[in-house]
Amino acid sequence: MERYKGKSIFKGIAIGKIKFYFKGKQQVKREKVDNIEAEIQRYEQAKEKAVGQLNALYEKAVQEVGEASAAIFEVHTMMLDDDDYNDSVHNIITSQGVSAEYAVATTGDNFATMFSEMEDEYFKARAADIKDISERLITVLSGGASGSDIGEEPVIIVAEDLAPSETVQMDKDKLLAFVTELGSANSHTAILARTMNLPALIGVEIQESWNGKMAVVDGYSGTLIIEPDEDVLASMKARQEQDRATRELLSQLKGKEDVTLDGKQIKLYANIGSIKDVAMVLENDARGIGLFRSEFLYLEKEDYPTENEQFQVYKTVAENMAGRRVVIRTLDIGADKQVDYFKMAHEENPAMGYRAIRICLDRVEIFKTQLRALFRASAYGRISIMYPMIISVDEVRKIKTIVHQVKAELDAEGIAYGEVEQGVMIETPAAVMISDLLAEEVDFFSIGTNDLTQYTLAIDRQNSKLDSIYDSHHPAVLRMIQMVIENGHKGGAWVGICGELGADTTLTETFLKMGIDELSVSPTFVLPIRKIIRETNLN
């Protein structure tokens, strides 16, 4: 039994086998093998498993994004059955006496180069597909997980690091916990782990020899235990049962009002990153969705999501929430959320660069596509729209002009839409200082405490070396929140918090006494926050 320390980003206990996640292009060494026939058989078994994964991904994608977008998985399946590709792999294994991994990597490189040099654009595009299927085969052969392929049983994912786009593609039903060597407690991947109610550790010095071993992730002490003995395993299972009992007690609060002892009603909403999170919102009895991170629609795809693809997602969420408010944040990429097909130039300081509303106001057609989808979906439920990274009144007025154009287009086309509240995220000191002016332009404010803390303290929240001084309780941050609440109310706007600080139970009573109207938190925090609200007297 071995113990390794890390930093916990979500408390809880996970028990299961470790699965290593290999990202990007894997390094494959040229290794000799003694049994050629056994190696060819190993390749054929890996290919069969890869085809099974692709078929499952196709079915899943059809349900979530439609047949047109799912077709890529059919293409990859056909490529795995290509005679030329398979003959090349067999030949390299046989003639050179090397491992299947090396034969696949070589074949993949050769075929990708061949396709990329063709004049026909269709065949040029197949080069990327060849690389994808080769990486999938290598991953299966090496026993690791990649992308949405985790395996058949729930596992603890261990990786050097995870990008938000990688995390969001994973099948949540197969995830027990995350353990990474790199990363920050304030990164978007950490936020997603909390949204998914998964114990997670960062800063753990990982070893590939752990792959497949039984382990325990103790999110309370920030410890990873490899091959725990019977006593430790029994103790951890008992802690899991204690957690389950606590959740059972909190579940008695379902259906109860979010109202303080002296009668103040609070909007208690949930944050989500995808349509699949709606089930957790309903399970935890949130009164609405206070932050739908729409950028993950873009992170999950290899090209811009169409208006109809977005419309179907927003419409489904609105319908499922059955009249409860759904606040959808417009595209917020940049910083640690990079999308290759946006082809954005490298920036020395992306957190303060070309991101969020700045991209939308620069690439207006992308913005209008999303707004059309949002307004169309508003006919099917109670949708509100909020705009991120605002620093000026001028930006808000430009947004309003574009919204007016979109509504005029929909009117001309005879397309119905509902009444839509519009708000802005307060996540820059500039927005705080002019919040009295912004309140006159919008219906609500939502305070993004993660970025507000970052920009106020001049601390990059992705830099794990600064985690010890990243203080979201800093008096400057709390004073800014108070100022925003007061200015919002004077201007007639309701004010909420959608950042991670909203789920900090040590501050819940403080926020209530500041006059906050809404708290939007990860779904699993809804009931603990409700308990505090119902026990608080503001007089």
Cite the active site residues: 188, 498
Give strand pairing partners of 268.
519
CA dist 19 to 110, 208, 408, Å? 30, 10, 52
CA dist 259 to 233, 249, 268, 346, 464, Å? 41, 19, 10, 48, 38
Give strand pairing partners of 423.
386, 444
- What 3-state class would DSSP assign to 273? coil
| DSSP secondary structure, 39-91, as one string | HHHHHHHHHHHHHHHHHHHHHHHHHHH-HHHHHHHHHHHHHHT-HHHHHHHHH
Give the pair of three-digit tokens for residue 234: 């029994």
Closest CA to 61 of 229, 313, 311, 292: 313
How many other CB atoms are found less than 10 A from the CB of residue 70? 17
Order of strands across the sheet with 2-5? 2-5, 223-226, 214-218, 13-20, 155-159, 175-180, 200-202, 7-10
Distance between start and end Cα atoms, the chain: 53
Give the pair of three-digit tokens for residue 247: 């959740």
- Burial letters 146-156, b for 16+ CB under 10 A, else e: bbbbbbeebbb
Which residue's structure tokens are 């392929």?
149
Give the pair of three-digit tokens for residue 476: 């400057």
CA 344 to chain centroid, in Å, comes to 20
